[in-house]
Amino acid sequence: VRTAFFDSLVTLAARDERIMLMTGDLGFGVIETFARSFPTRFINAGVAEQNMTGVATGLALSGKIVFTYSIANFPTLRCLEQIRNGPCYHNTNVKVVSVGGGLIYGSLGMSHHATEDLAVMRALPNLTVVAPGDPAETTAATEALVALDGPAYLRLGRAGEPRVHQGPIEFSLGKALMLCDGSDLTLISTGGMLVTADNAAQQLRRDGISCRLLSMHTVKPLDVDAILAAAADTGLIVTIEEHSVTGGLGSAVAEVMAEHPIAGALLKRIGLPSAFVSRAGSRDYLAAQYGLSADAIVSSIKALRRNELIKE
């Protein structure tokens, strides 16, 4: 998805002179094409994210569309107040981009685990929060964020995620994409968990469990209609996110379900516990440790059904 983002940004920047890219001195091997193609619209701000965000705000207030780029928590939590008081309060065109959402940089340690960013960013007024699930969604989301007049947070995974959507997609911010329909339960995934959720859905289907799969690429504003329809149609919603279960997608879905009670509908949140991951490990290793593999997701859904938490 990182490649899809940069390819898309270069294409869009060729059409729209307002687009600028700032980096906090990261992006070796991926920022070069933009930097070479648009040297006056590329700024390496140095290892100084607070200033990067402030400068981006000043540029945006002067008519630019500025993407600020870094990895993990550096473009978000490090400069959270700058994002809040700057782009959010001034409702201006700064698009914050982070690569490495979740446990992508697992082996690098806790400092590089972006596991609370969705919760924190979701709380900020005016900010659109997007976590695309595959390269196709990433390309479409990048275009949509340029067209959107206002601030946004784009949470990306890493390079090399497979395309999950078969064929073209009809992407629209705030509208979930349905990858397959089903009647027994609905899996709702955000960000890079989409391929895992898709694998889990296929396994469940093979086992005779009919599964709807939604990619909730926009965490804010949330697609309330899709959640309510899933609750009414399937009776069980399982959210899957590479993020703490505190405050992220699962919490957002829970808020909707709590305020729109649909008789009998249940919710299971699958994500990271609100705890620090202090062991080294690859992303896939750590994800599996926390039940975020397709096998583990299938097992926990089957356990739910065995416990008769849902109506057979």
Distance in angstroms (rounded) separating the CA atoms of residues 233 and 10: 41
Report if residue 46 touches other proteins, rule: CB under 8 A.
Answer: yes
**What's the closest the beta carbon of residue 89 comes to other proteins, in angstroms?**
6
> Quick one: which segment of 49-57, 154-162, 267-275, 286-294 binds other proteins (CB under 8 A)?
49-57
Q: How far is the CB of 23 from other proteins (least distance, A)?
A: 13
82 vs 218, which CB is nearer to other proteins? 82
What's the sign of the alpha-carbon dihedral 197, 130, 167, 182?
positive
Does position 126 interact with other proteins (CB under 8 A)? The reply is no
Tell me the site size for other proteins, rule CB under 8 A.
25
* CB 46, min distance to other proteins, A: 7
Comparing CB distances to other proteins, the nearer of 51 and 199 is: 51
Among 3, 51, 293, 300, binds other proteins (CB under 8 A): 51
Closer to other proteins by Cβ: residue 56 or 127: 56
Stretch that binds other proteins, among 51-59, 130-138, 169-177, 275-283 (CB under 8 A): 51-59
* Nearer to other proteins (CB atom), residue 24 or residue 191: 24
What are phi and psi for residue 12, nearest 5 degrees? -65, -40
Closer by beta carbon to other proteins, 78 or else 163: 78
Adjacent-strand bridge partners of 129: 153, 220
By CB under 8 A, what part of segment 53-112 binds other proteins? 53-64, 81-82, 85-86, 89-90
Determine if 50 is a binding residue for other proteins (CB under 8 A). yes
Instruction: Return the CA Rg of the chain.
Output: 19
The residue ranges that bind other proteins (CB under 8 A) are 43, 45-46, 48, 50-64, 81-82, 85-86, 89-90
